[in-house]
């Protein structure tokens, strides 16, 4: 049954040229807010029902603790990560209503905690396949509203490459999703470089997101593991890609940082100074600040002045709309957030709302 379903999706991809080309409605359908570009949210999380069902059925046999709470929701617990699969993360109809109310035209769907790295590689591959097939099906059902960022089992390079090649041919898959570390391994680990090379060849941007952040054991109180841990983990990921040579090795690779880059942009002066005086960074031929514009950054700052500072630091052409939908730490109305930064020019606003995302995701204007 699964094989036949994948054949069906691939057949639809071949037949539905306009759909596969990207966000088919952006050329003819007016945008929700009347802008000349669609508002494209690149930080929007989704658990497909099929993905949740597979975890519920087989997760316990693959190292996870799976249960059901009093509301009938599936609860997953793996080392360092606990997740309740809430309905607002799963139901596309609920999502569409929220998008319409917020003036968001498109969600680039991505998996979130716990991703798949907790699972044995073979099961992680199956989870990735189910997630990617479901994202393609969501795109086919709503071609103007949903795109997908592929999930792959990064803890097994060969399987990751296998699934990346397969998923890149599915309708609506426009990038790859990756955690800021893979089971404690930083992103400059050489095992991951073949995946970066393949993404560069395929023209797929990589979207990063924290998971089980560094120092979580010291941040159990006050939700500090999110307030401080997530932005810190994003900075470690970005710095690893810079100092570890990944951004030099793959000059055409696009990487999007969540939560406005976390602490990475704001520590860049410290890294510039340190790289000039410390022996650990004597291999650096350029200051870290020269890599700021190699990344893209979402708008999730929860501060208008900081968002404006980010735009002025890295350029409006490097900032993309993000909400973290539907988490309680999300922007419910991410377009409003951009509109409230009145110092932006109309061109800068349009780039942030959707122009940059269209370029990254290779959507037709």
Token pair recorded at residue 204: 């797929």
The pTM (predicted TM-score) of the whole model is 0.91
* Contact partners, residue 114, CB within 8 Å, separation at least 6: 76, 78, 81, 83, 211
Token pair recorded at residue 315: 């350029």
Q: What percent of the chain has pLDDT over 70?
A: 92
Burial 2-33 (b: 16+ CB within 10 A, else e): eeeebeebbebbeebeebbebbbbbeeeebbb
Q: What is the mean pLDDT of residues 119-126?
A: 98
* 205 close to 295: Cβ distance less than 8 angstroms: no
Q: Are strands 65-68 and 74-78 parallel, antiparallel or unpaired?
A: antiparallel
Architecture of the 34-361 domain: Alpha-Beta Barrel (3.20)
Token pair recorded at residue 331: 């922007």
- CA–CA dist 135, 140 (Å, integer): 9
Angle, helix 2-15 to helix 121-141, in steps of 10 degrees: 40
Q: Is 61 exposed, middle or buried (0-12, 13-18, 19+ CB in 10 A)?
A: exposed
Q: What is the mean pLDDT of residues 288-293?
A: 98
Token pair recorded at residue 316: 């409006």
Residue 27 has pLDDT above 80, yes or no: no
Which pLDDT tens digit goes with each residue over 147-189? Answer: 999 999 999 999 999 999 999 999 999 999 999 999 999 999 9
Mean confidence (pLDDT) of the chain: 92
Domain ranges, ordered by start, for the chain: 34-361
Residue 4 has pLDDT above 70, yes or no: no
Q: What is the mean pLDDT of residues 19-42?
A: 71
Residue 5 has pLDDT above 50, yes or no: no
- CA–CA dist 47, 113 (Å, integer): 10
* 20 close to 171: Cβ distance less than 8 angstroms: yes
Angle, helix 157-167 to helix 121-141, in steps of 10 degrees: 10
Residue 251 has pLDDT above 70, yes or no: yes
Please report which confidence band the pLDDT of residue 29 belongs to, taking 50, 70 and 90 as the band edges: low
Which pLDDT tens digit goes with each residue over 318-357? Answer: 999 999 999 999 999 999 999 999 999 999 999 999 999 9
Which pLDDT tens digit goes with each residue over 61-106? Answer: 999 999 999 999 999 999 888 999 999 999 999 999 999 999 999 9
């Amino acid at each position: 049954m699964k094989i036949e379903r994948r054949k069906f999706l691939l057949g639809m991809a071949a037949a539905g040229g306009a759909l596969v080309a990207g966000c088919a409605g952006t050329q003819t359908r007016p945008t929700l807010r009347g802008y000349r570009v669609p508002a494209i949210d690149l930080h929007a999380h989704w658990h497909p029902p099929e993905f949740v069902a597979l975890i519920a059925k087989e997760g316990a046999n693959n190292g996870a603790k799976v249960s059901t709470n009093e509301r009938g929701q599936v609860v997953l617990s793996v080392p360092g990560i606990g997740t309740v699969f809430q309905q607002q993360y799963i139901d596309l109809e609920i999502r569409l209503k929220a998008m319409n109310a917020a003036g968001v035209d498109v969600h680039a769907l991505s998996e979130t905690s716990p991703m798949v790295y907790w699972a044995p590689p073979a099961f992680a591959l199956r989870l990735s396949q189910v997630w990617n097939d479901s994202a393609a099906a969501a795109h086919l059902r709503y071609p103007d509203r949903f795109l997908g960022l592929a999930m792959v089992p990064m803890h097994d390079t060969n399987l990751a490459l296998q699934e990346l090649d397969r998923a890149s041919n599915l309708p609506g898959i426009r990038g790859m999703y990756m955690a800021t570390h893979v089971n404690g391994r930083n992103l400059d680990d050489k095992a991951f470089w073949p995946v970066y090379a393949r993404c560069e060849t395929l023209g797929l941007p990589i979207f990063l997101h924290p998971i089980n952040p560094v120092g979580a054991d010291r941040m159990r109180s006050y939700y500090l593991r999110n307030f401080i841990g997530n932005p810190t983990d994003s900075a470690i990921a970005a710095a690893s890609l810079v100092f570890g040579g990944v951004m030099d090795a793959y000059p055409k690779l696009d990487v999007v940082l969540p939560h406005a880059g976390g602490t990475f942009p704001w520590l860049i002066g410290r890294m510039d100074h340190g790289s000039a005086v410390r022996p650990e960074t004597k291999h650096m031929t350029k200051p870290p600040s020269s890599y700021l514009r190699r990344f893209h950054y979402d708008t999730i700052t929860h501060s208008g002045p900081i968002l404006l500072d980010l735009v002025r630091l890295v350029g409006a052409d490097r900032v993309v709309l993000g909400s973290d939908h539907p988490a309680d730490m999300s922007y419910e109305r991410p377009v409003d957030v951009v509109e409230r930064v009145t110092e932006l020019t109309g061109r800068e606003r349009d780039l942030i709302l959707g122009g940059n995302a269209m370029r990254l995701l290779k959507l037709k204007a």
